[in-house]
Every structure is written in C-alpha cells, then in structure tokens.
Amino acid sequence: MADRYKTGEQAPEAGTYEFDGLVDGRKNDNVTEDEKHIELSNGDTFPPLRSSKEAAYWKKA
C-alpha cells in the first residue's frame, strides 16, 4: 500500500504505521526508533512526532 497519511487525518484501518517523513519535506534523522512506528485503531487520528510535535507522514507498515 503506497498511501501516505498526514498528522490530523484518520486511520482508514487498524494496524501498525511507520514514519514516512515530515510534512515540510524533511526526512528527520532525529526521529527515535520508538516513535518510528505507531499502533492505531480504525478512525484514530494520526499524531505528530512525540519528540518534536512536528506534523508527519505515516504509511501502513
């Protein structure tokens, strides 16, 4: 699945999603291993990065 989801959007299905870059276009090397993957339920809102509170893109892992 090549779909990307942005901070603030709702998850289309439950599962694990992985960090896929910052919304401003940067690939942040400062992202910690524990925040590169998130578990969401159907309808959950995609979060910003925990450490920097920056908007991020996520993709289904």
Q: pLDDT of 7-29, one tens digit each?
A: 999 999 999 999 999 998 876 66
> What is the side-by-side order of every strand in the sheet holding 15-22?
4-6, 56-60, 15-22, 37-40
Helix and strand totals (H; E) in the chain: 0, 4
Let me know: does 55 contact 20? Beta carbons within 8 Å.
Answer: no
Mean pLDDT, residues 21-43 taken together = 87
The DSSP result for 11-22, as a single string, is PSSSEEEEEEEE
The pTM assigned to this predicted structure is 0.87
Residue matched to tokens 């995609």: 46
